[in-house]
Amino acid sequence: MNTPATQQSTGRQAGLGRIIIAVYGIFAISSTARAGYQILTKFGEAPLAYALSAVAAVVYIIATIALASHKPGSWRLSLIALLIELVGVIVVGILSFALPQDFAHPAVWSHFGQGYGYIPLVLPLIGLWWLFRHREPAAGR
């Protein structure tokens, strides 16, 4: 809390970074609620799509916590979470077009996040760009 304001305002968690964390938080909550509801009520209808929804929810939760964290290693964890997210949305996006019968029910990442205005596709790109602009300071700075 005693960090000078100028230093804080250029940090990974400030400015656009705070907006990115907020959007990840919204996705973490909404995708967890939706995946939980889908799995509890109609898992049998589209097990693959709903299982992938649950994976997406876990990735969003980890990404939100890692992005917001000041702990050492959180930068690295953010990078891993965002890379998994980017690969996930691309692979699931391709699969949903290649195997439409398995993705008849909507999931967060199906059709490249179409149901969410393609935000799931754009978000990891913006997040990765932001992460590389705000690398973790080297130890003993």
Partner 1 sequence: MIVDGFFIAGAIICALSVLLSVFATITRDHPDDYAIISVAAVEVFLVVYGISAAIRQAGGQPIAGETWEFWGYVATALFVPVVAFAWAITDKTRWSNAVLAAVGLTVFVMLYRMEQIWDGAALA
Q: Distance (Å, rounded) from C-alpha 72 to C-alpha 76?
A: 9
Looking at the Cβ atoms of 21 and 57, the one nearer to partner 1 is 21
Of the candidates 113, 135, 115, 134, which has an alpha carbon nearest to the alpha carbon of residue 124? 113
Q: Distance (Å, rounded) from C-alpha 89 to C-alpha 97?
A: 12
16 near partner 1, rule: CB under 8 A:
yes
* Near partner 1 in 17-46, by CB under 8 A: 18-19
Q: Is the dihedral of CA 62, 67, 68, 73 positive or negative?
A: positive
Stretch near partner 1 under the rule CB under 8 A, chosen from 12-20, 34-42, 57-65, 71-79:
12-20
Can you tell me which of 14, 29, 80, 95 binds partner 1, judged by CB under 8 A?
14
Question: What is the size of the binding site for partner 1 (CB under 8 A)?
Answer: 7
**Least distance (Å) between residue 20 CB and partner 1:** 9
Tally Cβ neighbours within 10 Å of residue 34. 19
Can you tell me which of 1, 2, 4, 5 binds partner 1, judged by CB under 8 A?
5
Looking at the Cβ atoms of 18 and 105, the one nearer to partner 1 is 18
φ/ψ of 97, rounded to 5, equals -85, -35
**Least distance (Å) between residue 134 CB and partner 1:** 13
Q: Distance (Å, rounded) from C-alpha 133 to C-alpha 2?
A: 24
Could you list the residues that contact partner 1 (CB under 8 A)? 5, 9, 14-16, 18-19
